[in-house]
């Protein structure tokens, strides 16, 4: 019986080969060989079939299919239904399933039930798999899981081409490797180059930070990234955004271009521009292309712009903030403070701003200029200002008179953004107008001294004290001439005061011509004789022409030294 069975199988195999060869010759179809322990006739889905039972082996070129049983359609011997312990091999590809349909003409196998596909160092499991043996292309539509030597990938839909070793995925894609987790909508992975390429919204979580983009590539070995489309990366120090974003792990170097923003994690500071460079290991970032820094505290925003902004972190002590350097054409705008200069350093840890090269500042109705300026902020509001070299401060009173003070060095103190005191050291000169209420000018005080102090209330001069014997005089209103109303070097620069729009405007790279200096306005005419003080009002105490000070003024003058 054993001999008879083997002879029967051999005869059946020979007849199958002859039949398949005849069909291939006539219809130019590939040759299919099949063998089994037994052969029976039957029907399947209303069609006549040959039932191959026991140790079924189907061969077609380099492809081999084995199973426990198979149905071969009598109308087309190249088509088969394969059952139980299905196993398909082709080169390095090896696939198993519970059942399968195999078409030797189209060279397509549809595998169903517990499908497992192995190809060298990759294993795919899925409920169903469609495999084109000629194109060596497989795809699944009912969720798949791929396991490699150092990664796993899950998705709802996926394709795999064994020739180029590329996996493609759609919907609920999750890549998990040694260096990163990738969540995407549409993604491809090259099992040779180890590069992930994505074509839809994607998030990458790695030790380098959390990255997001709509398009781009990520090398899972070198961790180099190239992102496009609303790209962003969140590091321990910054959230960086841009139209495009690249990252080099080897150099710890990020670049962002197009609508760039860098948000500091430690505070509410945001820097925007068109190009950003970030050296993470060195703690340095550089932004250019109309860069603007925004710092928000208590619902008030300070805007600072320049041709280039350079941020330097405190790499030695990460708990502390760093410094911001702004250079060329610096502009500042805040509701209670505006400023211009050529270059600036902002110590974010101490809230100190250093301005150099023609600094000009406006605080409410006060204008301050010097060769260099240091501003101390408190809660993002101006608290102190130290001016060095050719210091000059101008304030406007209610009658549009220009109160002025100048000297070598000047310290100004503010409360709630309003000036409350100015201390002048070295060649101090002052010129301020004594008012009767808010309706008339009683006269103008002009004084010279080595040091002086001016006190303000609601932006108006209240009194002035001197450390040394002053040279002072009071000029009555009817004797005032225009030259008397200005200290040497007086320039009122209200036309230069930057607006918010001016600070935020796009920079073209072309230097603007400096705005023409407007001539100093002529104060309104005053009465020839001062009017009596209004009821309840009190005129400011003027310095006498003989330079004598009252006792209380001498005591106040003694306090000047204490604050220097």
Which residues, other chains included, contact 557 with Cβ-Cβ below 8 Å and sequence gap of 6+? 452, 453, 465, 466, 467, 549
Domains of the chain: 1-11+34-120 (no CATH), 362-508+559-563 (2.60.450)
∠530-536-539 over CA atoms, to 5°?
Answer: 40
Element (H, E) at 16: helix 2-27
d(CA 531, CA 326): 51
Cβ distance 163 to 90 under 8 Å? no
Cβ distance 415 to 421 under 8 Å? no
Task: Determine whether 127 is exposed, middle or buried from the number of CB atoms within 10 Å of its CB (0-12, 13-18, 19+).
Answer: middle
Cβ distance 126 to 143 under 8 Å? yes
d(CA 295, CA 91): 63
d(CA 175, CA 192): 16
pLDDT digits (tens, 9 = 90+) for 285-298: 999 999 999 987 66
User: pTM for the complete prediction?
Assistant: 0.70
pLDDT digits (tens, 9 = 90+) for 60-101: 888 899 999 999 988 888 888 999 999 999 888 889 999 999
What pLDDT is recorded for position 418? 80
pLDDT digits (tens, 9 = 90+) for 416-427: 778 888 899 988
d(CA 243, CA 555): 63
Which pair of tokens denotes residue 461?
């001069």
Name the region of 115 (left: φ>0; alpha: ψ -120 to 50; beta: rest). beta
- Write the secondary structure of 525-551 as one string of H (helix), E (strand) and C (coil): CCCCCCCCCCCCCCCCCCCCCCCCCCH
What pLDDT is recorded for position 92? 82
What pLDDT is recorded for position 287? 94
Which pair of tokens denotes residue 330?
């610096």
d(CA 517, CA 478): 29
pLDDT digits (tens, 9 = 90+) for 31-52: 788 899 998 888 888 889 889 9
Cβ distance 419 to 413 under 8 Å? yes
pLDDT digits (tens, 9 = 90+) for 128-158: 999 998 888 889 999 999 998 888 999 999 9
Element (H, E) at 223: none
Q: How far is CA 187 from the centre of its chain?
A: 24
Helices first, then strands: H and E counts in the chain: 3, 38
């Amino acid at each position: 019986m054993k001999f008879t069975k083997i002879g029967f199988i051999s005869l059946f195999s020979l007849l199958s080969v002859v039949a398949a060869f005849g069909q291939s010759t006539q219809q130019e179809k590939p040759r299919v060989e099949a063998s089994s322990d037994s052969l029976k006739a039957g029907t399947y889905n209303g069609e006549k079939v040959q039932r191959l039972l026991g140790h079924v082996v189907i061969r077609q070129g380099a492809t081999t299919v084995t199973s426990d049983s198979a149905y071969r359609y009598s109308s087309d011997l190249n088509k088969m239904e394969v059952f139980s312990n299905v196993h398909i091999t082709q080169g390095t590809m090896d696939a198993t399933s519970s059942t399968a349909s195999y078409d030797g003409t189209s060279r397509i196998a549809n595998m169903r039930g517990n499908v497992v596909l192995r190809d060298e160092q990759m294993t795919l499991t899925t409920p169903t798999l469609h495999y084109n043996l000629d194109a060596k292309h497989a795809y699944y539509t009912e969720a798949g899981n791929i396991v490699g030597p150092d990664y796993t990938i899950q998705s709802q839909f996926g394709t795999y081409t064994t020739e180029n070793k590329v996996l493609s995925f759609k919907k609920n894609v999750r890549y998990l490797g040694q260096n990163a987790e990738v969540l995407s909508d549409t993604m491809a992975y090259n099992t040779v180059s180890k590069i992930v390429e994505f074509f839809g919204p994607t998030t990458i979580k790695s030790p380098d930070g959390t990255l997001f983009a709509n398009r781009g590539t990520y090398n899972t070995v070198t961790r180099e990234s190239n992102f496009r489309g609303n790209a962003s990366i969140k590091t321990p120090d910054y959230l960086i955004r841009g139209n495009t974003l690249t990252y080099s792990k080897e150099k710890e170097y990020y670049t962002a271009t197009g609508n760039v923003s860098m948000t500091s994690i430690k505070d509410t500071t945001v820097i925007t521009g068109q190009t950003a460079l970030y050296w993470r290991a060195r703690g340095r970032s550089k932004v250019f292309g109309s860069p603007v820094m925004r710092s928000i505290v208590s619902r008030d925003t300070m805007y600072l712009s320049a041709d280039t902004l350079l941020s330097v972190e405190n790499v030695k002590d990460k708990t502390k903030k760093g410094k911001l350097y702004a250079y060329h054409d610096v502009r500042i705008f805040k509701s209670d403070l505006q400023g211009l200069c050529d270059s600036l350093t902002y110590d974010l840890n101490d809230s100190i701003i250093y301005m150099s090269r023609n600094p000009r500042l406006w605080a409410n109705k006060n204008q301050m200029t010097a060769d260099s300026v240091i501003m101390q902020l408190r809660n993002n509001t101006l608290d102190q200002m130290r001016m060095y070299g050719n210091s000059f401060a101008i304030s406007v009173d209610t009658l549009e008179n220009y109160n002025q003070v100048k000297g070598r060095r000047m310290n100004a103190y503010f409360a709630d953004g309003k000036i409350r005191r100015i201390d002048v050291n070295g060649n101090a000169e002052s010129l301020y107008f004594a008012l009767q209420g808010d309706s008339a000018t009683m006269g103008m005080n002009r004084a010279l001294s080595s040091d002086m102090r001016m006190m303000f209330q609601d932006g108006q001069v209240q009194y002035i004290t001197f450390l040394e014997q002053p040279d002072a005089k009071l000029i009555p209103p009817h004797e005032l001439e225009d030259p008397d109303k200005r200290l040497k070097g007086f320039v009122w620069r209200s036309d230069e005061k930057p607006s918010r729009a001016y600070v935020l405007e796009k920079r073209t790279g072309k230097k603007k011509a400096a705005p023409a200096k407007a001539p100093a306005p002529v104060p309104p005419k005053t009465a020839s004789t001062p009017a009596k003080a209004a009821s309840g009002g009190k005129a400011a105490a003027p310095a006498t022409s003989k330079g004598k000070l009252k006792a209380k003024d001498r005591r106040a003058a003694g306090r000047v030294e204490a604050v220097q």
